[in-house]
Amino acid sequence: MTFDNTNMQYRVTLNTDLNLFIVFDKKDKNHVATGVTIEKAVQELQKTK
Over 3-19, what HEC string results? EECCCCEEEEEEECCCC
- Mind listing the pLDDT tens digit for each residue in 25-44? 988 989 999 999 999 999 99
The chain-wide mean pLDDT, for the chain, equals: 88
The strand order across the sheet containing 9-15 reads: 2-4, 9-15, 20-25, 32-35
pLDDT of the residue at 5: 60
Q: Looking at the predicted structure, is the pLDDT value of residue 2 above 70?
A: no
Do residues 10 and 17 touch, judged by C-beta distance below 8 A?
A: no
pLDDT of the residue at 14: 97
Position 8 confidence tier, pLDDT thresholds 50, 70, 90 = confident
